[in-house]
Amino acid sequence: MIQPVIAIHGGAGAMSRAAMSPEKEQEYLAALNGILSAGQAVLAAGGSALDAVTEAVRRLEDCPLFNAGHGAVFTSAGTHELDASIMDGATLRCGAIANVTCVRNPVLAARAVMEHSKHVFFVGPGAEDFARAQGLELVDPSYFSTDARREQLLRVQRENPDAAVLDHDGQALVARGQPAPADPLDADKKFGTVGAVAVDAQGNVAAATSTGGITNKQVGRVGDAPLIGAGCYASNRSCAVSTTGTGEMFIRTVAAYDLAAQMEYGGASLQAAADRVVFETLPAIQGKGGLIAVDSRGNVVLPFNTEGMYRGYARVGEPPVAAIYQ
């Protein structure tokens, strides 16, 4: 009998301990634990892995602490463009949306694409029209904005107006007497995707990933989060994976599928395959970030090659485990 388990992530990146308060760290850990508990409850009630990851990512999108949905980062034009994907390991069905501006919960739109369309991937106005036709909640784009994210955009644009900043050194700002980021992970140096993976009592796995992208990104840019095989993948024959990091590098290495393929075709364990992707394949092209993955036997891994990653897991019948740093 498999012990169902869910794992989540809320982005990876560099520490900003110079600005971190114990209260802020506890705020993040409480959010992670609450979301884990919600996904765990779905599995404990006999729900599917697909339902568990949907619920977890929906809640991550609704939490302003994380870069997805409410609290998404701004593009260079001061707008929001959201992406999401989901995959069912039992059937290999999947759905994805990108560059949406008014869909409250992009993961729900991705799931609707999977379940109610003959296609896999919708973008822009077409994705929004599809979400509207499915009766999903649409919001004014201002819903996604927070003061913290707006200040993040302005800070980045002051430093380097032409850069879509993935690797901005918040500690350098502190050294120059500028305000430090107030998050446990430096918001200017954090790769802000959210995601969930799970295996249910039937041994079925699922994965979902959602993001607001990267601060000051060029309008129209799409990273790995909505790309099946790069930022999200699930197959009962191997594992379920959700990634977070320098999206372009995860795309170039097809990171999520690479992990699964090592298991299915090479006989690698979940741990060995994940470690190879995160600590060998990605760093070879300066790829930074991490991933979460589960296999159909209930094994869980959460490796990352940055200083921290918002992450956690919860097995049915056991207390959730959440962490930020190495």
Return the active site residues. Answer: 193
> Helices 124-133 and 106-116 meet at what angle, rounded to 10?
80
Element (H, E) at 109: helix 106-116
Residues making up the chain, counted from first to last: 326
Determine the Cα angle at 36 with ends 274 and 200, to 5°. Answer: 65
Q: What's the chain's Rg over C-alpha atoms?
A: 18
Other beta carbons less than 10 A from residue 158's beta carbon: 10
Annotated binding-site residue? 247: yes
Tell me how far apart the alpha carbons of residues 101 and 65 are, in angstroms, rounded to a whole number.
19
Annotated binding-site residue? 194: no
Contact yes or no for 232/95 (Cβ under 8 A): no
| Lookup result for tokens 């989901």 | 86
Contact yes or no for 275/303 (Cβ under 8 A): yes
Contact yes or no for 44/201 (Cβ under 8 A): no
Annotated binding-site residue? 246: yes
The pair of three-digit structure tokens given for residue 198, joined into one six-digit string: 């799970």
Bridge partners (DSSP) of residue 9 are 195, 311
Contact yes or no for 230/251 (Cβ under 8 A): yes
Annotated binding-site residue? 281: no
Annotated binding-site residue? 211: no
Annotated binding-site residue? 221: yes
| Lookup result for tokens 């919001």 | 139
Annotated binding-site residue? 222: yes
Tell me how far apart the alpha carbons of residues 40 and 239 are, in angstroms, rounded to a whole number.
18
Annotated binding-site residue? 223: yes
CB neighbour burial string for 184-199, b if at least 16 within 10 angstroms, e if fewer:
bbbbbbbbbbbbbbbb
Binding-site sequence positions for substrate: 221-224, 244-247
Binding-site sequence positions: 221-224, 244-247
